[in-house]
Structure 1
């Protein structure tokens, strides 16, 4: 039994973690009920159209913001470049719905920008001038573009840094201008990495709930949320979720294809020396204004406004509820991070010890949940857990015992399980990556010395992969702290996390009172960015 214990355990965990996806597919394949048919005939086509345009616009804006910034940081010499290349990642730490509220407050009809314009030019009403509405599909795309462009920037910059300088110099010797060299050499080589970045942006946009709901832009994500909470129809919500699942699978397939091509393009490229286009005069100032403008609009301005509100309304925000919800978030995130790490170690070690094809499949299955948008995941979790709750209560009734009620869906079990399914992939990826760097010869030497699997893991592997384990657990912890849509759908009654607490204030247009917990979320979100920046600096 010992021989098969590792394999059986890893398969068991993988199947439990894929249960929400399987349940979602089964529920979606059942005959359609009246609510879904009504939604399909009335609003769903418009929601699908909105989702398509939103994803397309955000991808376009992320490319427009991220790609020039990546090239400038990798290829040009600019004053303060070392600080700037790190600062350009910062918008990732800022929840998009907070940025949405800040810009709505600034740019609405009653906001300071339009008040100033009316004051300067003597305009009396909205009929005297045109100002683009921030609460629109375009406004949502702009906010998400400012928050998500770092995906394209990070992968693009890494790809440019890895390119052979001799190729770029050769193109210059052949008479290419810097622009022609970029178009004919740098961009084609970086294209697969940029495609991966854009697919990540597309999946994040598809999963976005806070901003689109606040701006009243109806997408498939809001449709899932409204169908479950508004109509109370789990089956209709599951069918809409299945449509989103299909879109995610298409995006993942495109991303995998890009990655295959990336391996072919950049197999033996190396950045032999610092490439340096020395920008001067107007070009230098334009490049600095563009890059610092992105940092300012995507992070600094919202953060300064949050700090202002947090100081001004500190007495009202610093209360028992703030501490209670902070504790809720910390405990929940810590529990999921520890469980995620334990699962990652079990799956990673099983594959390491057995080293067979059938042990890599549980790893891949267990990591599938990360691709699911939060609302889709929540429905996938609710379907099996609701059935289990009914079964437990029916069993208690049959045994003449008191019915336990909502034992799974009415407690922290549902939200913890949902987070584990979605974010466990991060711990799995970090542990697997660290284990791959440990030489197989160490395993052979340890076995020769007579150590069993448990002793080998304890004495050899764990000390060597300690940093990877910490990074994985930390990433899971931070993502759990920030997660909003899954928390809104899966939390028990009268249970709030910091994310749902802040979003409640945003929905009521009272972000001033939620600024303090919002700053906590942002500061926690900065931790992985500091790790990421350090690792990038070590590589280059």
Structure 2
């Protein structure tokens, strides 16, 4: 009984640490004062409508783009057979390895007015002035997000279509339905919930972004939060703006979960696409060429071209790159990633084991609260962490609470845990679903109880899931920008922060080195995911 109470106490403490940033943002409305009210009134009359309109237009463009690109690619590789299909099944996942802000740097370097493409066009054809549209624009940001985030839709739609779509479309063909009607009446209804869930995930990433919007000079809600905090020096106004963003993200999260629940009808164990009577339809001629182009364009624009664009300045400035400092940036990134991954996996193991051992109301509540963290934008987490430390600093000026959060790794690791514990938790829970409950009963009969059950029975069976969880958190931490940018200790720049700062200073050749390093690290979960999809199919 004592062990059980200590376990519940540890879970409540963990939940408090993970929920504190969000709770602090919500509590900020109780701190209403004349200064914050004045700032909000001025922002509401000047820039706030622009923030809302820009964010809305960006979300509409990104939502429509990822739905078309991701859904179309998923339908092509799942329902049809054409040359290169096997290659595209995993190649379409490659943009997951590219942080959106890295894609923005790459295209800006190559397509801007002074970039090599426009310079070549002016020199070759005798043109004057700007030849191509401005890259740093709302439209440019929308394209960057579309080709960076479409894999969310592609993955979910491919899973939904791969279970039963081929079998049902074959049945519709035998009943005389033409291909267009089969796609409209069978494939699209099957994929619609998955596409909606993927679009919601992509929009959450879009709203949480800081790197692309800041670099392109786009005034979104996220940049407005940082401006209210850093430029106007009013944490209450920043927190209240963060609340608006938090409500929007919570709405998207609810829509995503509802769409995921509606996907259950496509998860049966009926005939598979690979069965003899439900083979993908073979395409030839112009139809095969169209499917090939449909899959080539996202891979080309979302991964291949950005990598090539970054390799060009990297090769040109190879001898002058700061290799000694690059090693220090890499060490800082790896250190933060390793610490955060270890703590996130430990927290996930504690929650998953507690939920399996005694799925009570306290445990289920803690798990639900922890699962919300990944949907919380980094800007909201930063504000939510700095608010309580500021209050504590006012109450106890000699406590040094602010220094503990902003001058040590504590604050940045805390922010990482709030954001990424849910990533580790999902992987560990996935591993637990493969361990039958009868294993626990047998272990208890043989004397294994409490944490001995976790160490002697569960751990050997969970090692692969735990390793995958650690790698996923490690990679996410390496690429994370907003929280790191504000909370990192002095002289502890990471690869993500340095890439952003160098690109902001127009030193895109030097920014290519840390950017490519982030891409290489990001390939790790992509390879794991593609391997898992091949094994499943």
TM-score (norm 2): 0.95
1:423-479 Cα shifts (integer Å, max 9, x gaps): 111111111221122111111111111222122111110011111111111111100
Counterpart among 284, 287, 303 of residue 288 in structure 2? 284
Residue 75 of structure 2 corresponds to 71
Would you say 1:469 and 2:470 are equivalent positions? no
Residue 518 of structure 2 corresponds to 521
Residue 352 of structure 2 corresponds to 348
Matching of residues 219-234 of structure 1 within 5 Å: 219-234=220-235
Greater shift in the superposed pair: 489-498 or 419-428: 489-498
Residue 216 of structure 1 corresponds to 217
Change (3 A) 1:166 1:265: closer
Change (3 A) 1:318 1:133: closer
Counterpart among 97, 105, 111 of residue 109 in structure 2? 105
How far 1:109 moved relative to its partner?
Answer: 2.8
Residue 443 of structure 1 corresponds to 440
Residue 531 of structure 1 corresponds to 528
* d(CA) in 1 for partners of 2:353, 2:167: 42
Greater shift in the superposed pair: 477-486 or 9-18: 9-18
1:33-74 Cα shifts (integer Å, max 9, x gaps): 322221122101110110011011011111121111111111
Q: Is the 8 A contact 2:111 2:118 kept in 1?
A: yes
Matching of residues 136-535 of structure 1 within 5 Å: 136-272=137-273, 273=275, 275-391=279-395, 393-394=397-398, 406-535=403-532
How far 1:309 moved relative to its partner?
Answer: 2.4
How far 1:21 moved relative to its partner?
Answer: 0.6
* d(CA) in 2 for partners of 1:407, 1:83: 49
Residue 400 of structure 1 corresponds to none
* d(CA) in 2 for partners of 1:534, 1:357: 36
5+ residue gaps, structure 1, are 396-402
Change (3 A) 1:321 1:116: closer
Q: Is the 8 A contact 1:90 1:526 kept in 2?
A: yes
Q: Is the 8 A contact 1:389 1:408 kept in 2?
A: no
SS of corresponding position for 1:322: helix
Q: Is the 8 A contact 2:389 2:402 kept in 1?
A: no
* d(CA) in 2 for partners of 1:425, 1:323: 30
* d(CA) in 2 for partners of 1:150, 1:348: 28
Residue 27 of structure 1 corresponds to 28
Q: Is the 8 A contact 1:163 1:186 kept in 2?
A: no
* d(CA) in 2 for partners of 1:302, 1:49: 29
* d(CA) in 2 for partners of 1:243, 1:258: 23
Q: Is the 8 A contact 2:163 2:268 kept in 1?
A: no
Q: Is the 8 A contact 1:164 1:269 kept in 2?
A: no
* d(CA) in 1 for partners of 2:126, 2:317: 34
Q: Is the 8 A contact 1:344 1:427 kept in 2?
A: yes
* d(CA) in 2 for partners of 1:458, 1:519: 39
How far 1:216 moved relative to its partner?
Answer: 1.0
* d(CA) in 2 for partners of 1:63, 1:451: 49
* d(CA) in 2 for partners of 1:125, 1:421: 48
How far 1:84 moved relative to its partner?
Answer: 1.6
* d(CA) in 2 for partners of 1:457, 1:420: 22
* d(CA) in 2 for partners of 1:179, 1:246: 40
How far 1:265 moved relative to its partner?
Answer: 4.9
* d(CA) in 1 for partners of 2:450, 2:211: 46
How far 1:199 moved relative to its partner?
Answer: 0.5
Counterpart among 86, 99, 104 of residue 82 in structure 1? 86
Q: Is the 8 A contact 2:208 2:378 kept in 1?
A: yes
RMSD: 1.8
* d(CA) in 2 for partners of 1:104, 1:449: 64
How far 1:339 moved relative to its partner?
Answer: 0.5
